[in-house]
Structure 1
Amino acid sequence: MPTHHLKAAAGGVFFFLFHAGAQASALPHDMSPLGMFFAADQVVKSVLVGLLIAALATWVVLLVKGASLLKARRAATHAVTMLKTATSLPDAATKVQGAGGTALARQLLDDVQQELRLSHASAPAAALKERAGFRQEQLIGQQVRGMTQGIGLLASIGAVAPFVGLFGTVWGIMNSFIGIAVSQSTNLATVAPGIAEALLATALGLVAAIPAVVIYNVLSRGINQYKAQLRAASAQVLLMLSRDLDTRGQA
């Protein structure tokens, strides 16, 4: 290759590197997430603040519902264990009161005993079992509904947060192109801040959405297991009711 061609190529590479270095030095000094947040326009700031609130709400729901679910599952386990040791409804009521039993066990027993008091003394055993089972199902549904309150927020955050972050991305890129058109310059100092703000919105949307989906799935599985424990405790109560009704029929 001729020598003058090598010199021209080397000169071109040197000019490109020098020009890129000058453009990089012209970038804003504070390109941290906090600096980009304060440099963003109002729309992008609103998106970022909303995503931060959503991410904070996700962890608050985890702490509150996680503690409530853990406490409820322990109470359900205690109730099932206690009810399995009883042989009849009066025996179970005595054990629950004497051992300071859980509120769940007392609620299940009181529900059945109330139905026995309301029913006629000569009512058929099948009808009593059906009505008692219906009342138990209503009580279980009430407990589960109380536990699922607030969980839907996690599903909404997991579904909406990525699209909100995408909106911030589109808006930031649009501002970057507007800046290019106004300044009539394509150097890094004009383009990079808007692109960085756009990518920050996308990243924050994923930061809010991914934990929300994971926590929602974890809590949903925990609630399903809690529902199964409630059904197990209710089954023990209905078993004792059936046994007492058989004894009463024989008498």
Structure 2
Amino acid sequence: MEAEAIGLASDVDFSVTALFWRATFVVKLVMLMLIGASFWSWAIIVQKFINFRKARASAAEFDRAFWSGEPLDELFDKVGSDPQGASQRIFAAGMSEWQRSHKDDGQLIAGATARIDRSMDVAIAKVEENLNNGLTFLATVGSTAPFIGLFGTVWGIKNAFEEIAIAQNTNLAVVAPGIAEALVATALGLVAAIPAVIFYNKLSTDADRIMSGYEAFADEFTTILSRQLDS
């Protein structure tokens, strides 16, 4: 009898595709959600790596131009009113406020330093929002995907036991397919969650380092303008 049950179980297709098509509607829905979340997470991860690399390259290029000794007014004219890089936007925000703080007779309006700081802080906040865009989704997938997969597994096992009760048979051929279908949901939950958690931590750290560079540049730029004010 045991040999017969093993033989019947060996005839069942246990490929992931076959297990998906045999699963109940709820388990299929859970699997599709997890697959979609995994693909979307990887899309965000790849896009963030590309964006961060461009941000570092743009910041390094602008730093070389900024510290080359070129007059700030000339550099501002080159950057233009609609700069592309984050460092350029922060610089342009500070320079725009610097120019607006001058009266017609060339004298500075009181409180210029504070207004320049606020202008650059607003620009930095917009850059930070853009850098962190998508990371919340990775954090959400990393924290919820295992539980969503576990829900699919629990639901699948429930249906497997119901089938056992209806068939009134607990041999391997009856039990194995239902349990296997249920466990696929947990596996997909882990497949979605593990990369999301790893790369969320990695990308969050990279974003913080990039932001630290922008903030350091803003502080140095403010210091240069303060020297000009004092002189």
Q: What TM-score, normalized by structure 2, do the two folds share?
A: 0.88
**Residue 83 of structure 1: how far off its partner (Å):** 1.9
1:115 is matched with 97
**Residue 41 of structure 1: how far off its partner (Å):** 1.4
Matching residue's letter, 1:62: I
Query: Unaligned stretches of 5+ in structure 1?
Result: 1-18
Query: Which structure 2 residues correspond to residues 24-103 of structure 1 after superposition, within 5 A?
Result: 24-27=6-9, 28-86=11-69, 89-90=72-73, 92-93=75-76, 103=85
Moved more, 148-157 or 229-238: 229-238
2:126 is matched with 142
Matching residue's letter, 1:70: R
Query: Which structure 2 residues correspond to residues 173-188 of structure 1 after superposition, within 5 A?
Result: 173-188=157-172
List per-residue Cα deviations over 1:158-193 (Å, max 9, x = no partner).
Answer: 111111110111111111111111111110111111
Instruction: Indicate how the Cα distance of structure 1 residues 170 and 109 shifts in structure 2: closer, same or farther if over 3 A, else same.
Output: closer
Distance in 2 between the 1:233 and 1:63 partners?
27
Stretches (4+) displaced over 4 A? none
List per-residue Cα deviations over 1:69-128 (Å, max 9, x = no partner).
Answer: 21112212222333233375336447x56xxx974444333322321232242434xx22
Conserved in 2, the CA contact under 8 Å of 1:166 and 1:201?
yes
2:139 is matched with 155
List per-residue Cα deviations over 1:185-226 (Å, max 9, x = no partner).
Answer: 110111111110111111111001111111111111111011
| Identical residues among aligned pairs (%) | 35
Conserved in 2, the CA contact under 8 Å of 1:147 and 1:223?
yes
2:178 is matched with 194
Question: What root-mean-square deviation, in Å, do the aligned CA atoms of Structure 1 and Structure 2 show?
Answer: 2.0
Distance in 2 between the 1:128 and 1:176 partners?
72
Larger Rg belongs to? 1
Conserved in 1, the CA contact under 8 Å of 2:13 and 2:19?
yes
Say which SS state the counterpart of residue 163 (structure 1) adopts: helix
Number of aligned positions between the proteins: 223
Say which SS state the counterpart of residue 222 (structure 1) adopts: helix
Say which SS state the counterpart of residue 26 (structure 1) adopts: helix
Instruction: Indicate how the Cα distance of structure 1 residues 236 and 81 shifts in structure 2: closer, same or farther if over 3 A, else same.
Output: farther
Match of 1:132 among 81, 104, 116: 116
Conserved in 2, the CA contact under 8 Å of 1:108 and 1:237?
no
Matching residue's letter, 1:24: I
Matching residue's letter, 2:131: M
Distance in 2 between the 1:83 and 1:188 partners?
72
Conserved in 2, the CA contact under 8 Å of 1:73 and 1:229?
no
Query: Unaligned stretches of 5+ in structure 2?
Result: none
Q: What TM-score, normalized by structure 1, do the two folds share?
A: 0.82
Matched, 1:22 2:22: no
